[in-house]
Structure 1
Amino acid sequence: MFTSVSFVAMNSALDGLALRQRVIADNVANINTPGFLAGRVSFEDSLRAAVSDGSGAVSPRVARSLEPTRTNGNNVNLDTETLSNVDTGLRYQLATQAVDGTFSRLRTAMRSA
Protein backbone atom coordinates (compact mmCIF):
# COMPACT_ATOMS: atom_id res chain seq x y z
CA MET A 1 0.00 0.00 0.00
CA PHE A 2 2.74 2.48 0.95
CA THR A 3 4.69 1.64 -2.17
CA SER A 4 1.80 2.09 -4.60
CA VAL A 5 2.35 4.61 -7.36
CA SER A 6 -0.50 6.82 -6.16
CA PHE A 7 0.72 6.91 -2.56
CA VAL A 8 4.32 7.66 -3.58
CA ALA A 9 3.11 10.30 -6.04
CA MET A 10 0.98 12.02 -3.40
CA ASN A 11 3.94 12.13 -1.02
CA SER A 12 6.13 13.53 -3.80
CA ALA A 13 3.47 16.15 -4.49
CA LEU A 14 3.34 17.09 -0.80
CA ASP A 15 7.13 17.46 -0.74
CA GLY A 16 7.06 19.65 -3.84
CA LEU A 17 4.22 21.82 -2.55
CA ALA A 18 5.89 22.25 0.84
CA LEU A 19 9.09 23.36 -0.88
CA ARG A 20 7.08 25.77 -3.04
CA GLN A 21 5.55 27.31 0.09
CA ARG A 22 9.03 27.83 1.59
CA VAL A 23 10.32 29.40 -1.64
CA ILE A 24 7.31 31.73 -1.83
CA ALA A 25 7.96 32.81 1.76
CA ASP A 26 11.61 33.46 0.88
CA ASN A 27 10.56 35.46 -2.18
CA VAL A 28 8.21 37.67 -0.15
CA ALA A 29 10.80 38.12 2.58
CA ASN A 30 13.24 39.42 -0.04
CA ILE A 31 10.83 41.63 -1.97
CA ASN A 32 12.95 44.73 -1.33
CA THR A 33 16.38 43.08 -1.56
CA PRO A 34 18.31 44.59 -4.49
CA GLY A 35 19.36 42.00 -7.06
CA PHE A 36 17.21 39.22 -5.58
CA LEU A 37 15.65 36.94 -8.19
CA ALA A 38 12.50 35.07 -7.23
CA GLY A 39 12.66 31.30 -6.92
CA ARG A 40 10.28 29.00 -8.73
CA VAL A 41 9.62 25.36 -7.82
CA SER A 42 8.73 22.91 -10.55
CA PHE A 43 7.84 19.27 -10.17
CA GLU A 44 4.47 18.74 -11.85
CA ASP A 45 5.80 17.73 -15.28
CA SER A 46 8.34 15.29 -13.83
CA LEU A 47 5.67 13.92 -11.45
CA ARG A 48 3.32 13.33 -14.38
CA ALA A 49 6.10 11.47 -16.22
CA ALA A 50 7.02 9.45 -13.11
CA VAL A 51 3.41 8.36 -12.63
CA SER A 52 3.24 7.32 -16.29
CA ASP A 53 6.46 5.34 -15.86
CA GLY A 54 5.06 3.62 -12.78
CA SER A 55 7.32 5.06 -10.08
CA GLY A 56 5.64 8.24 -8.83
CA ALA A 57 8.78 9.46 -7.04
CA VAL A 58 10.29 12.81 -8.01
CA SER A 59 12.44 15.50 -6.46
CA PRO A 60 11.26 19.08 -6.88
CA ARG A 61 13.67 21.61 -8.41
CA VAL A 62 14.16 25.26 -7.51
CA ALA A 63 15.16 27.61 -10.31
CA ARG A 64 15.56 31.38 -10.39
CA SER A 65 12.83 33.29 -12.21
CA LEU A 66 13.73 34.87 -15.53
CA GLU A 67 10.94 37.43 -15.28
CA PRO A 68 11.90 41.07 -15.89
CA THR A 69 13.47 42.94 -12.99
CA ARG A 70 12.80 46.34 -11.51
CA THR A 71 15.48 49.04 -11.52
CA ASN A 72 17.04 47.53 -8.37
CA GLY A 73 17.46 44.13 -10.07
CA ASN A 74 14.70 42.46 -8.02
CA ASN A 75 11.91 40.61 -9.84
CA VAL A 76 9.63 39.53 -6.96
CA ASN A 77 6.01 40.41 -7.74
CA LEU A 78 3.80 40.41 -4.64
CA ASP A 79 0.62 39.73 -6.65
CA THR A 80 2.20 36.69 -8.31
CA GLU A 81 3.53 35.38 -5.00
CA THR A 82 0.17 35.87 -3.26
CA LEU A 83 -1.74 34.00 -5.97
CA SER A 84 0.85 31.25 -6.05
CA ASN A 85 0.66 30.91 -2.27
CA VAL A 86 -3.13 30.56 -2.31
CA ASP A 87 -2.99 28.03 -5.16
CA THR A 88 -0.23 26.05 -3.44
CA GLY A 89 -2.11 26.04 -0.13
CA LEU A 90 -5.26 24.67 -1.77
CA ARG A 91 -3.29 22.00 -3.62
CA TYR A 92 -1.53 21.03 -0.39
CA GLN A 93 -4.89 20.66 1.41
CA LEU A 94 -6.21 18.47 -1.40
CA ALA A 95 -3.13 16.23 -1.38
CA THR A 96 -3.25 15.99 2.42
CA GLN A 97 -6.89 14.91 2.27
CA ALA A 98 -6.03 12.25 -0.31
CA VAL A 99 -3.25 10.83 1.88
CA ASP A 100 -5.54 11.00 4.92
CA GLY A 101 -8.16 9.04 2.98
CA THR A 102 -5.60 6.29 2.42
CA PHE A 103 -4.85 6.09 6.13
CA SER A 104 -8.57 6.17 6.98
CA ARG A 105 -9.20 3.15 4.78
CA LEU A 106 -6.26 1.39 6.40
CA ARG A 107 -7.62 2.13 9.91
CA THR A 108 -11.05 0.88 8.87
CA ALA A 109 -9.58 -2.33 7.48
CA MET A 110 -7.58 -2.91 10.67
CA ARG A 111 -10.66 -2.45 12.87
CA SER A 112 -12.65 -4.89 10.73
CA ALA A 113 -10.02 -7.61 10.93
Structure 2
Amino acid sequence: MDRRHTDGGSVRVLEDITSVTLHGALDGLAKRQRVIADNIANIQTPGFLAGRVEFEDALRTAVQAGDPREGAITTARSLEPTREDGNNVNLDHEVLSNIDTGLRYQTMLRATDDKFGLLRAAIRG
Protein backbone atom coordinates (compact mmCIF):
# COMPACT_ATOMS: atom_id res chain seq x y z
CA MET A 1 0.00 0.00 0.00
CA ASP A 2 1.49 3.32 -1.03
CA ARG A 3 1.02 6.14 1.46
CA ARG A 4 2.33 9.00 -0.66
CA HIS A 5 0.79 12.40 -0.06
CA THR A 6 0.89 15.50 -2.15
CA ASP A 7 2.15 18.70 -0.62
CA GLY A 8 2.07 21.74 -2.86
CA GLY A 9 2.48 19.61 -5.95
CA SER A 10 5.40 17.52 -4.66
CA VAL A 11 5.04 13.85 -3.83
CA ARG A 12 6.39 12.55 -0.55
CA VAL A 13 7.76 9.17 -1.62
CA LEU A 14 9.31 8.57 1.79
CA GLU A 15 5.94 8.05 3.44
CA ASP A 16 5.27 4.66 1.90
CA ILE A 17 4.52 1.78 4.26
CA THR A 18 8.09 0.44 4.13
CA SER A 19 9.71 3.78 4.97
CA VAL A 20 7.26 4.49 7.78
CA THR A 21 7.76 0.98 9.19
CA LEU A 22 11.55 1.34 9.11
CA HIS A 23 11.28 4.74 10.79
CA GLY A 24 9.02 3.27 13.50
CA ALA A 25 11.46 0.42 14.12
CA LEU A 26 14.39 2.84 14.35
CA ASP A 27 12.44 5.02 16.81
CA GLY A 28 11.59 2.01 18.99
CA LEU A 29 15.15 0.70 18.96
CA ALA A 30 16.58 4.13 19.77
CA LYS A 31 14.17 4.44 22.70
CA ARG A 32 15.25 0.97 23.89
CA GLN A 33 18.92 2.00 23.73
CA ARG A 34 18.19 5.08 25.87
CA VAL A 35 16.28 3.01 28.43
CA ILE A 36 19.08 0.42 28.60
CA ALA A 37 21.60 3.23 29.20
CA ASP A 38 19.34 4.59 31.97
CA ASN A 39 19.08 1.13 33.52
CA ILE A 40 22.86 0.69 33.56
CA ALA A 41 23.38 4.20 34.94
CA ASN A 42 21.04 3.36 37.82
CA ILE A 43 22.39 -0.09 38.64
CA GLN A 44 23.36 1.05 42.15
CA THR A 45 20.29 3.22 42.80
CA PRO A 46 18.21 1.74 45.65
CA GLY A 47 14.62 1.06 44.64
CA PHE A 48 15.25 1.58 40.91
CA LEU A 49 13.27 -0.75 38.67
CA ALA A 50 14.66 -1.47 35.20
CA GLY A 51 12.75 -0.08 32.27
CA ARG A 52 11.64 -2.21 29.33
CA VAL A 53 10.65 -0.92 25.89
CA GLU A 54 8.12 -2.79 23.77
CA PHE A 55 7.13 -1.86 20.25
CA GLU A 56 7.58 -4.87 17.94
CA ASP A 57 4.13 -6.41 18.45
CA ALA A 58 2.36 -3.05 18.16
CA LEU A 59 4.33 -2.17 15.02
CA ARG A 60 3.60 -5.59 13.48
CA THR A 61 -0.13 -5.21 14.18
CA ALA A 62 -0.15 -1.67 12.79
CA VAL A 63 1.64 -2.79 9.60
CA GLN A 64 -0.86 -5.61 9.15
CA ALA A 65 -3.67 -3.09 9.58
CA GLY A 66 -2.08 -0.92 6.89
CA ASP A 67 -0.85 2.04 8.97
CA PRO A 68 2.51 1.59 10.70
CA ARG A 69 2.16 5.08 12.21
CA GLU A 70 -0.24 3.52 14.69
CA GLY A 71 2.49 1.30 16.19
CA ALA A 72 3.02 2.56 19.73
CA ILE A 73 6.26 2.48 21.68
CA THR A 74 5.62 1.67 25.33
CA THR A 75 7.96 1.80 28.29
CA ALA A 76 7.19 -0.09 31.48
CA ARG A 77 9.07 -0.98 34.63
CA SER A 78 10.35 -4.53 34.94
CA LEU A 79 8.50 -6.83 37.31
CA GLU A 80 11.54 -9.06 37.80
CA PRO A 81 12.55 -9.79 41.40
CA THR A 82 14.59 -7.14 43.17
CA ARG A 83 17.74 -7.30 45.23
CA GLU A 84 17.67 -6.40 48.92
CA ASP A 85 17.99 -2.70 48.03
CA GLY A 86 14.85 -2.88 45.82
CA ASN A 87 16.83 -2.53 42.57
CA ASN A 88 16.27 -5.14 39.85
CA VAL A 89 18.76 -4.09 37.15
CA ASN A 90 20.66 -7.13 35.89
CA LEU A 91 23.88 -6.03 34.20
CA ASP A 92 24.22 -9.25 32.17
CA HIS A 93 20.69 -8.83 30.81
CA GLU A 94 21.26 -5.16 30.00
CA VAL A 95 24.55 -5.81 28.17
CA LEU A 96 23.01 -8.59 26.06
CA SER A 97 19.94 -6.50 25.35
CA ASN A 98 22.16 -3.58 24.33
CA ILE A 99 24.13 -5.77 21.90
CA ASP A 100 20.92 -7.22 20.43
CA THR A 101 19.36 -3.78 20.10
CA GLY A 102 22.49 -2.37 18.46
CA LEU A 103 22.52 -5.18 15.89
CA ARG A 104 18.84 -4.69 15.15
CA TYR A 105 19.38 -0.94 14.78
CA GLN A 106 22.23 -1.56 12.32
CA THR A 107 19.98 -3.92 10.35
CA MET A 108 17.22 -1.30 10.12
CA LEU A 109 19.75 1.33 9.04
CA ARG A 110 21.01 -1.03 6.34
CA ALA A 111 17.45 -1.65 5.14
CA THR A 112 16.84 2.10 5.04
CA ASP A 113 20.06 2.65 3.11
CA ASP A 114 19.10 -0.11 0.66
CA LYS A 115 15.70 1.51 0.14
CA PHE A 116 17.34 4.84 -0.65
CA GLY A 117 19.69 3.02 -3.03
CA LEU A 118 16.70 1.64 -4.89
CA LEU A 119 15.14 5.09 -5.08
CA ARG A 120 18.39 6.57 -6.40
CA ALA A 121 18.61 3.84 -9.02
CA ALA A 122 14.99 4.41 -10.06
CA ILE A 123 15.54 8.16 -10.35
CA ARG A 124 18.66 7.71 -12.45
CA GLY A 125 16.82 5.34 -14.73
Instruction: Give the TM interval when normalised to the shorter protein.
Output: over 0.9
Gaps of 5+ in 2: 1-12
Q: Distance in 1 between matches of 2:65 and 2:45?
A: 42
Q: Which runs of 5+ in 1 are unaligned?
A: none
Report how far residue 5 of structure 1 moved: 1.4
- Is 2:91 the counterpart of 1:78? yes
Cross-structure match for 1:59: 72
SS class of match (2:14): coil
Instruction: For residue 15 of structure 2, give the secondary structure of its aligned residue in structure 1.
Output: coil
TM-score of the superposition, structure 2-length normalised?
Answer: 0.86
Q: 2:60, 2:123 → 1: CA distance?
A: 32
The answer to whether residue 85 in structure 2 is matched with residue 111 in structure 1 is no
**Alignment size in residue pairs:** 112
Shift of 1:3: 2.0
TM-score (norm 1): 0.95
Tell me how large the CA RMSD over aligned residues is.
0.9
Alignment partners' CA distance in 1, 2:96 and 2:68: 27
The residue number in structure 2 matching 1:19 is: 31
Equivalent residue for 2:7? none
Give CA-to-partner distance per residue, 1:62-86, whole Å, 9 cap, x none.
1000000000000000000011001
Aligned to 1:94: 107
Partners of 1:7 and 1:54 lie apart in 2 by 13
CA distance in 2, matches of 1:65, 1:37: 6
- Aligned to 1:23, the other structure's residue is in SS state helix
**Higher relative contact order, chain-length normalized (CA < 8 Å, sep 6+):** 1
